[in-house]
Amino acid sequence: MKVLLGIGGTDGSAEALDRTVARALEAGDDLTIAIVEGKADEAEDLDARVESVRSETDLSVDVRRLEGEPGSKLVDIAETEGFDEIVLGGSTTSPMGKIKINQTAEFVLLNSHVTVTLVR
């Protein structure tokens, strides 16, 4: 399956990356990781994690950086390049522990014509 993972700037990004990579290794997914702009220090952390995925596994991963409005970019790439699924680590939690769907995730869920998985 051709999978587009969108990560960056949210609490669940690292876990979404780990789980999507684990699944891709098992199922032989063709994985593209789209890193959405976030805070600079978080972006560096994510870069390092993605790099370690590349060096520690046999998975061939295409990594891209998205600029501008991430939700519409993800939907556009998925639809024009024939992806089967968009995976998002797109939720943050409030101090109380309530899940908050961020604007990128909300846009993708409502507008994508390909299946969307929200990693929890």
Partner 1 sequence: MNAERRYPDVVSGPFEVPPVEFVDREDRAIEIRPYDGSEEEFEALVEMYAEFDPSDRAQGIPPGREPRIRTWLESILADDCLNVIAWDNGTAAGHSTLVPDGEDDYELAIFVLQPYQQAGIGTHLIESLLGHGASHGIQKVWLTVERWNHPAVSLYKKVGFETTGAESFELEMAIRIADD
Residues of this chain that interact with partner 1 (CB under 8 A) are 93-101, 103, 106, 120
- Cβ count near 95 (within 10 Å): 5
What's the min distance (Å) between Cβ of 100 and partner 1?
A: 7
Supply the minimum distance, in Å, between the C-beta of residue 5 and partner 1.
Answer: 22
Query: CB of residue 58 vs partner 1: minimum separation in angstroms?
Result: 34
- Closer of 13 and 91 to partner 1 (Cβ): 91
Query: How many CA atoms within 13 Å lie on the side-chain side of 39?
Result: 7
Residue placing its CB nearer to partner 1 in the complex, 32 or 91 = 91
- How many angstroms separate the Cα of 20 from the Cα of each of 36, 68, 96, 102? 16, 24, 27, 20
